[in-house]
Structures are given as C-alpha cells and as structure tokens.
C-alpha cells in the first residue's frame, strides 16, 4: 500500500543479503537497527553491524565520521520504540459486516474508496495496536490505491454519512474509519498488499472480474481473455522486447 510499509522483515533481509539499498537509506537503516535490537544486541554491537554494512555499500566513498553520527542518532531514536518487532503483514481479512456496509453505498466509486480506507485502517491497526484507529495517509495515495481520479467530494460524502470522521479534508488528513470491526465472519481476504493491488480484491468480489498475479513482478492484472496470461502488460512488453532483440541477434549472426 502506498505510504505504508507492510513487509519490513522482507525489505530488511533483502537489503542485508544483497548489500544494496534502494533509494534513501535512512528507512532501511532504521529497519536494520530494529532487527538487531530485537535480537538483543547491545547498542555498540548494533553500531558495529550497521557501520560494517554501510561500509560494504559505499566502499571507498564511505565517510566514516558522517555515518558515525547518523548511525548513532538512529540507534538512539529506534531504541526508544515500544517494541522492535519487524512488521510482516501477509494478509488482511475483511468481515461480512464491513463488506455489507461498503456495498450498501451502492456507488462503485464510493465503495472503492471505502474499501481502500478500510484496508489502510486495518494495516494501521496492526502496525500500531494501541492507536485509536485513526489513519493519516496522503490523499493522493488513497485515490491512487482506489483507482480513482482524485475527487475530494467523494470523501466529503463519506464524512456526511459518517462513514469516516475527520475535522477537515486537506491533502493529508487524519481520519477515523467508522465501519471497521474487531472481529467477524471473514468474507474476503486480501493477500497481495503490494502497491495498487488490494483494490483488485474488491473488484473481483463485486464486479466478478478475475485477476492473476504476474509471475515476474507479482502485481495483479485483470484477466481479460479465456486463455490465462502469466505476465502483466508491462512485463509482457519487456519479454517481447527481449525476444525481438534475440531474433535480431540471430538474423545478424546468420548473415
Ligand atoms: Zn509484471
């Protein structure tokens, strides 16, 4: 889900195994610190581990004195967390009562939005069990995940009918989702929580659409024909390009 990390454990293990950090390193460094604190290493031991890891990444360009401060500060920040468990959310269960409330909106755009908000609230509840269920997510992310063009009027409507509670709607708003249940009869399970995938479970359920997981990038794509496809459009195009290159190479070799 955009704006939330649901698989800290996988991201952390991958960075350590590949000795590679994608994008900005701070988030990953904090995850690695959390992992080692969870394994009961002392702050000094954690420092040494992270320092070595960063050295392996930056090699000759490693600025020891700069990173010394960054790593020490991060260790101090992370050591104040309530717990050091790495988040690893594999699925989100949706209950019958929750789906009934969403479906009773009887407007597919509102339903999609309400479904995505519910997933955000449920993930948030797992990440912060002591929170009161409020979420604070960038609105652009919420609309993207809902596969909707940004339209605050839709959110206002959900506020009007008290599906969500919020003081005012700006670009990033704290909202409370009123139709989340603590327990119930599971009607739908969302397994693929990667960006932009959860909404496809609702579309499958509601519109009888069929989605497959791409064998390469694991994103879910709509199954349009009877013959099942293995790859999403993007990956299929990449494969075609590679095949074309191969063919050209063979032609050249033949001449
Ligand atoms: Zn793909």
Q: Mind listing the pLDDT tens digit of every residue in the chain (255 residues)?
A: 999 989 999 999 999 999 988 777 899 999 999 999 999 999 999 999 999 999 999 999 999 999 999 999 999 999 999 889 999 999 999 999 999 999 999 999 999 999 999 999 999 999 888 877 789 999 999 999 999 999 999 999 999 999 999 877 777 779 999 999 999 999 999 999 999 999 999 999 999 999 999 999 999 999 888 888 899 999 999 999 999 999 988 888 877
Per-residue tokens: 8: 């800290």
Same domain, 110 and 31: no
Ligand 1 center to 15 CA (angstroms): 22
- The CB density around residue 248, as the number of other CB atoms within 10 Å, is 10
Are residue 52 and residue 71 in the same domain, yes or no? yes
Final residue before a domain boundary, out of 170, 187, 204: 204
Q: Is there a single domain that holds both residue 196 and residue 227?
A: no
**Distance from the CA of 242 to the center of ligand 1, in angstroms?**
15
Using alpha carbons, select from 181, 75, 88, 177 the residue that is nearest to residue 127.
Answer: 88
**106 shares its domain with 179:** yes
Residue at 40 is within a domain: yes
Q: Strand 172-177's sheet: what is its strand order?
A: 134-138, 172-177, 164-165
Do 199 and 127 fall within a single domain?
yes
Same domain, 52 and 146: no
Same domain, 196 and 222: no
Ligand 1 mean position, distance from CA 42 (Å): 42
* Total tally of structural domains belonging to the chain: 3
Residue 2 lies in a domain: no
Contact criterion met (CB below 8 Å) for 189 and 92? yes
Domain membership flag for residue 106:
yes
pLDDT at position 225: 82
pLDDT of residue 122: 96
Residue 135's pLDDT is: 92
Strand 134-138 relative to strand 164-165, pairing: unpaired
Q: Are residues 166 and 124 located together in one domain of the fold?
A: yes
* Residue 217: inside a domain: yes
Same domain, 20 and 102: no
- Rounded Cα–Cα distance for residues 171 and 193 (Å): 23
Spacing, Cα 239 to ligand 1 middle (Å): 10
Please, which residues have CB less than 5 A from ligand 1, an ion?
214, 216-217, 232, 235
- Which residue do the tokens 């990038």 mark? 217
Q: Which domain holds residue 67?
A: 8-79
66 and 107 inside one domain: no
Instruction: Decide if 3 is inside a domain.
Output: no
Would 1 be classed as within a structural domain? no
Place of tokens 């995938």: 197
Kindly state whether residues 191 and 238 are assigned to the same domain.
no
Same domain, 197 and 219: no
């Amino acid at each position: 889900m955009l704006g939330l990390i649901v698989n800290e454990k996988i991201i952390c293990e991958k960075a350590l195994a590949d000795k590679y950090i994608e994008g900005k390193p701070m988030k990953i460094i904090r995850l690695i610190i959390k992992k080692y604190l969870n394994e009961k290493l002392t702050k000094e031991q954690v420092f040494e581990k992270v320092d070595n890891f960063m050295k392996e990444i930056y090699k000759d360009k490693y600025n020891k004195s700069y990173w010394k401060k960054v790593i020490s500060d991060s260790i101090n920040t992370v050591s104040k967390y309530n717990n050091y468990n790495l988040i690893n959310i594999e699925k989100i269960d949706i209950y019958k009562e929750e789906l009934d409330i969403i479906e009773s909106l009887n407007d597919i755009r509102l339903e999609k939005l309400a479904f995505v908000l519910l997933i955000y609230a449920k993930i948030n509840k797992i990440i912060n069990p002591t929170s009161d269920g409020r979420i604070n997510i960038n609105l652009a992310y919420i609309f993207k995940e809902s596969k909707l063009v940004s339209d605050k009027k839709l959110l206002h409507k959900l506020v009007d009918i008290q599906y969500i509670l919020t003081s005012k709607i700006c670009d990033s708003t704290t909202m409370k989702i009123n139709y989340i249940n603590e327990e119930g009869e599971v009607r739908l399970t969302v397994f693929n929580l990667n960006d932009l995938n959860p909404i496809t479970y609702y579309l499958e359920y509601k519109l009888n659409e069929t989605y497959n997981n791409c064998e390469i990038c694991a994103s879910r794509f709509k199954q349009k024909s009877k013959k099942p496809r293995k790859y999403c459009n993007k990956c299929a195009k990449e494969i075609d390009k590679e095949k074309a290159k191969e063919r050209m190479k063979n032609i050249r070799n033949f001449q």
